[in-house]
């Protein structure tokens, strides 16, 4: 539970840093200046500032479910494979590997803080390091390609390897067994 609380605190601190240090009012003014008047942009930023705190309250709930769903699926897979382990151990393993997803966010912060300190909101939103999306010009891609190309990244692959390693370590199993359940599925099939 301490690791989950620590993860939630880090996520909230990173969100606050991005919202107040990286995405300043100047970024929004420069992005929306061609579409709206400065008065309207000011109203939008005032509305954003008034309701931004709500995102920090929702972040723990979203984080909990981002961990609960994979933990439940992994637990069900272990159960169906006749590997009996407490759900709490599987949940802990999933909490630990969720830290992998902080790496792209931290790299994004470092990039826009030190490498590219002058940027647009569009550049910030379309920056997905080590993803298939970063290999293409986003304006040339169809909109429906954006999400899958963003999701296909090194961090997703790292997550699955880290999950297998965390489960192997936490449950006392071999890494290969936690990474590959297809052997169990082949043994269950009847022809």
Report yes or no: 138 and 127 within 8 Å, Cβ to Cβ. no
Give the torsion sign (CA, 101, 106, 109, 111): negative
pTM for the model stands at 0.84
| Burial of 147 (C-beta count, 10 Å sphere; 0-12/13-18/19+) | exposed
pLDDT in tens, 49-71: 999 999 999 999 999 999 999 99
C-alpha closest to that of 163 among 64, 74, 41: 74
Confirm if 163 and 142 have CB atoms less than 8 A apart: no
C-alpha–C-alpha distance, residues 3 and 10, integer Å: 10
**Mean pLDDT calculated for residue range 98-117:** 94
Tell me, what's the pLDDT at 85? 87
Overall number of domains in the chain: 1
Question: First-to-last CA distance in the chain?
Answer: 45
Q: Which domain holds residue 101?
A: 2-188
**pLDDT 10s digits, 155-170:** 999 999 999 999 888 8
pLDDT tens digits, one per residue of 8-62: 999 999 999 999 999 999 999 999 999 999 999 999 999 999 999 999 999 999 9
């Amino acid at each position: 539970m301490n690791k989950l609380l620590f993860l939630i605190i880090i996520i909230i601190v990173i969100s606050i840093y991005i919202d107040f240090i990286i995405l300043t009012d100047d970024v929004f003014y420069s992005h929306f200046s061609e579409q709206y008047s400065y008065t309207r942009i000011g109203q939008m930023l005032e509305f954003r500032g008034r309701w931004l705190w709500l995102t920090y309250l929702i972040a723990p709930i979203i984080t909990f479910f981002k961990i609960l769903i994979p933990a439940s699926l992994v637990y069900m897979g272990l159960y169906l494979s006749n590997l009996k382990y407490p759900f709490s151990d599987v949940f802990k393993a999933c909490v630990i590997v969720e830290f992998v997803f902080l790496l792209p966010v931290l790299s994004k912060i470092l990039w826009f803080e030190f490498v590219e300190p002058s940027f647009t909101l569009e550049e910030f939103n379309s920056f997905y390091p080590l993803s298939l999306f970063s290999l293409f010009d986003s304006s040339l891609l169809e909109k429906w390609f954006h999400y899958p190309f963003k999701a296909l990244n090194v961090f997703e692959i790292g997550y699955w390897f880290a999950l297998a390693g965390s489960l192997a370590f936490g449950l006392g199993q071999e890494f290969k067994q936690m990474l590959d359940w297809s052997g169990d599925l082949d043994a269950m099939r009847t022809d």
